[in-house]
Amino acid sequence: MDYDTFIDTVTRRAPVSPEKAEPLTRATLETLAERLTRGEAQDLASELPKPLQERLVSPTPEAEAFGLDEFVHRVSERAGVSPEEAREGVRAELSTLKDAVSDGEFRQVMSQLPRDFEALVAAPG
């Protein structure tokens, strides 16, 4: 999946304006990089278009331990959107990642996240 298709898909799934989809995507990937181990963030980045790879730079080798609510809060702050828009953005982003990367890679990512992330991805949107 190329960059434009990725952003268009997030825009449709959130649903948000294209002007909000890019900041939401950047914020979600930056927050995901904090939540994943550095190795997993690098593995995920390797399957994404270059503009998205740049956001998946883990600040530490270890994953930070925080749940979905804190994840959404960080995305909301970074993207400058409401918590509700951030939650929808995270859901859209994760479901788009599921389509954009291999099944094995997506399972590896989800294995490092609490179970409520799986429920969010499965939620209709």
Q: Which residue has the higher pLDDT, 70 or 119?
A: 70
CATH code linked to domain 3-115: 1.10.490.110
Number of H helices, E strands in the chain: 8, 0
pLDDT, tens digit (0-9, with 9 covering 90-100), for 8-21: 999 999 988 888 99
Assign residue 101 a region (left: φ > 0; alpha: ψ between -120 and 50; beta: otherwise).
beta
Q: Summarize pLDDT for 87-120 with one digit per residue, the tens.
A: 999 999 999 999 999 999 999 999 999 999 998 8
Question: Any idea which residue has 């859209």 for tokens?
Answer: 92
60 pLDDT tier (thresholds 50, 70, 90): confident
Question: 23-49: per-residue pLDDT in tens?
Answer: 999 999 999 999 999 999 999 999 999
Q: Is the pLDDT of residue 83 over 70?
A: yes
Q: Which residue has the tokens 């930056």?
A: 30
Domain segments of the chain: what residues?
3-115
Contacts of 20 (CB under 8 A, 6+ apart): 14, 79, 81, 85, 89
Determine the pLDDT at residue 30. 96
Q: What is the pLDDT of residue 59?
A: 81
Does the structure show a pLDDT above 70 at 125?
Answer: no
